[in-house]
Amino acid sequence: MLLICLTIILILIGTFKSQTNYVKAIGGISARDVVLMEEKTGRVLYGKNIHQSEKIASITKIMTAILAIESGKMKKTVTVSWNAVRTEGSSIYLKTGQKIKLEDLVYGLMLRSGNDAANAIAEAVGGSVEGFVYLMNEKAKEIGMKDTYFSNPSGLDEKGKEHYSSAYDMALLTRYAMHNPIYQKIAGTKIYRSDSWDYSWKNKNKLLTSMYKFSTGGKTGFTKKAGRTLVSTASKNNMNLIVVTLNAPSDWQDHMQLFEYGFENYPQTKVLKMGGIKEVKHKIYKNHVFIKNNFEYPLSNEEEKEVTILYQMKKPTKDNPQDGQIVGKAIIKLEGKEIGYRNIFYSNSSVKILSKEIIEQTKQLFLHFIGEKFNG
């Protein structure tokens, strides 16, 4: 299909909320492997050994939790097996034959890191631990976790069995899970009390319960072989961040430092605003094309100047497009690499082209034509 292309290079000096003019070096991070990811776009803002496969301990349980939630059986009552009760390691002290809702098991899994809860969930959702492990690895493939293999639902180190993931893969998994409101609620719960017992569970995630006011959830982990592992999430100024650390002796401090680095240096920036497009001037499209949604991306001050927008329009015919028809794309690039796009729609009615706010904000606007020259 023939295209008409128009490149708009936006130099946005002073356009966005002022930030400090330096990028703070990150020193003193204790983790062997680490990733800082912006949740909405999946952009990695900082990383070290992000694709290195490692033992991950109980952050495995993020996968166990999301599979339980997606099973649709959260209100189902589960009968706890002897096999689940005898699971070694951290426990919520289930008893053989005990009847408990799957939902309560997931809270025990995420807040108290119960290995017995993990196996009880696996048997209820997968039919057996082995069946559930198959589901875990299939879900990992679906999400795009390429450096990962699960052999159990808890993260225990088992002799002769491979069980590993990477910082990047666990960030991908967390990004996926955080799109589920039930997971968000459970991971972000500080204290949980069930109708089934008289005591409360307090979340082991100290960032959430006391240390970091912007924390929204996460999962702790530890084994002797894996060391301290931690996944956590935080939100500030309409921005959601994910941090994963593997083998991190000072994981709480690592996470707080990385969150502050991300919030300070990569604000969520409105690159493209919804509404009419002034730059498209062809007589059929002029004042009749628009974008439905804003495009936002985490950018440093320096990167704002490296953003370009390429408008690719379908070559118009003699007849006007139909109302609501997609007639092109706005492709957003950072330093020449595509970071996203928005569809361009046609409206039979004249559309508002550019708000006063954007006119005042934009200091310089350069037009460069590619392909057929537009009329008007």
Phi-psi category of 263—alpha, beta or left, where left has phi over 0 and alpha has psi -120 to 50?
alpha
**pLDDT block averages, 10 residues each, the chain of length 376:** 41 30 62 98 97 98 98 97 96 96 97 98 98 98 98 94 97 98 98 85 97 98 97 96 98 98 95 90 86 94 93 84 92 95 92 46 33 34
Residue pair 48/245 in contact by the 8 Å Cβ criterion: no
| CA-angle at 83, arms to 64 and 126, nearest 5° | 40
**CA pair distance 66, 106, nearest whole angstrom:** 9
Q: Is 366 exposed, middle or buried (0-12, 13-18, 19+ CB in 10 A)?
A: exposed
**CA pair distance 116, 92, nearest whole angstrom:** 7
Out of 53, 81, 113, 232, the active site residue is 113
**CA pair distance 141, 147, nearest whole angstrom:** 10
Strand partners, 8: 309, 367
Q: Is 190 exposed, middle or buried (0-12, 13-18, 19+ CB in 10 A)?
A: middle
* Number of Cβ atoms within 10 Å of the Cβ of 284: 17
Out of 58, 81, 90, 232, the active site residue is 58
pLDDT computed for residue 195 by the predictor:
79
Out of 61, 204, 219, 314, the active site residue is 61
Q: At what angle do helices 129-143 and 115-126 cross, to 10 degrees?
A: 90
**CA pair distance 345, 276, nearest whole angstrom:** 9
Q: Is 27 exposed, middle or buried (0-12, 13-18, 19+ CB in 10 A)?
A: exposed
**Residue 200 annotated among the catalytic residues of the structure:** no
pLDDT computed for residue 351 by the predictor:
81
Q: What's the N-to-C CA distance of the chain in angstroms?
A: 24
pLDDT computed for residue 11 by the predictor:
33
**Residue 61 annotated among the catalytic residues of the structure:** yes
- Residue with token string 């048997």: 123
CA dihedral of 148, 151, 156, 159, whole degrees rounded to 10:
-110
Phi-psi category of 115—alpha, beta or left, where left has phi over 0 and alpha has psi -120 to 50?
alpha
**CA pair distance 242, 100, nearest whole angstrom:** 32
Q: How many CA atoms does the CB half-sphere of 114 hold within 13 Å?
A: 27
pLDDT computed for residue 352 by the predictor:
64
